[in-house]
Amino acid sequence: MLGLIGKKIGMTQVFDANGKLTPVTVIKIEDNVVVENRTVEKHGYSSCVLGSFDKKKSQTTKPYAGQFEGVCAPKKTLVEMRDFDKEAAVGEVMGVNMFKDVMFVDVVGTSKGKGFQGGMKRHGFAGGRATHGSKFHRDIGGTAMSSSPSKTFKGKKMAGRMGNERVTVQNLRVIRVDEEMQVLLVKGAIPGPAQSVVIVQKAKKK
Amino acid sequence: MDVIRAIESEQMKENAVNFHVGDTVKVHFTIKEGEKERIQVYEGLVIAIKNGGIRKTFIVRKISYGVGVERIFPVHSPRIEKIDVVRRGRVRRAKLYYIRTKIGKAAKIPELIIRKRPTV
């Protein structure tokens, strides 16, 4: 797996090579520092721990800062990448240019919280008709069978908290990589509000 | 937001809008047909300009074989070669959507005549 930590800046549109307006999401990828390399011999699996975004010294506790000792200044976000494809020594700095030869990426983020929502919005239930004497509008309908089994099965789709969960969007085309601005443009939308932390990975299925 | 503005301004044309609503314009638009590229000229009346940074567009209306045709062009599109103003129009509103319901003489826009101030 090849991935970096980034920040969603927002969406805009750019003209592509054919002069077509393309919707893009702007992802800022600041310098990612390799904080630790985990190995099969020592930890039982191999991974690479990346850190990004500077943290204020006044907001850093000593135990937290200890992880970064001798590597770099304490970072806000720490992400472990399993089976990192690239050889990276501790302290190595990686940036957007890692995605230069990459055509498609997957983006992992936390979706916007929607609060307590009904079955129609949360699971796409059809609901009932609005008029013609109908008294069944946005209800979820029956939730189980009859006297056998005489209960509602666990995990039945109902109303409840929606959003604010980890979401992956796969196979987003990389439109542009701007090293100067440390910015990556991908086609289409990615989960979460602006300024939220996202993980950009090389596409798994391409 | 500054990053987004910087990305948008890279592709934005300077002084792209050299016309007003009510003007009759000729839009020189490049069309790709397979390998070949050619320029098509679309002439008509500008009935609206919609702002929105790089998404700024304008609507050009013409009557083609008795049928009203409207095309929306992105102002900053790299496929627009140039825009010629054929005739300036005198209009009193920003959007000329009412023209869609008018036919013949009622759909005509008077020409804008700028009189020079008499020198004292």
| pLDDT digit string, tens, across residues A46-59 | 999 999 999 998 99
Is it the case that residue B69 has pLDDT exceeding 70? yes
At B80 the pLDDT is: 92
In this predicted model, what pLDDT tens digit does every residue of A83-121 receive, in sequence order?
Answer: 888 888 899 999 999 999 999 999 999 999 999 999 999
Q: Within an 8 Å CB–CB cutoff, is residue B50 touching chain A?
A: no
Question: Is A149 within 8 Å of A142 (Cβ atoms)?
Answer: no
Among A12, A19, A21, beta carbon nearest to B4: A12
Choice among A170-184, A186-200, B6-20 with the minimum mean pLDDT: B6-20
Among B7, B30, B32, beta carbon nearest to A12: B7
Confidence of residue A18 (pLDDT cuts 50, 70, 90): confident
Is it the case that residue B119 has pLDDT exceeding 80? no
Is it the case that residue A200 has pLDDT exceeding 80? yes
Question: Is B77's CB within 8 Å of A185's CB?
Answer: no
Q: Which of A21, A176, A182 is best to mutate for the B interface (most B CBs within 10 A)?
A: A21
% of residues, chain A, pLDDT over 70: 100
In eight-state DSSP terms, residue B96 is -
Confidence of residue B71 (pLDDT cuts 50, 70, 90): very high
Domain ranges of chain A: 3-120+166-202
Question: Is A27 within 8 Å of A186 (Cβ atoms)?
Answer: yes
Confidence of residue B1 (pLDDT cuts 50, 70, 90): low
Task: Quickly tell me which residue has 């500077």 as its tokens.
Answer: A54
Question: What ipTM was estimated for this complex?
Answer: 0.79
A13 to chain B, closest Cα gap in Å: 7
Range A3-120+166-202 has CATH code 3.50.50.60:
no
Cα angle value A132/A137/A143 (rounded, 5°): 130
Question: Is A193 within 8 Å of A112 (Cβ atoms)?
Answer: yes
Question: Whole-number mean pLDDT of chain A?
Answer: 93
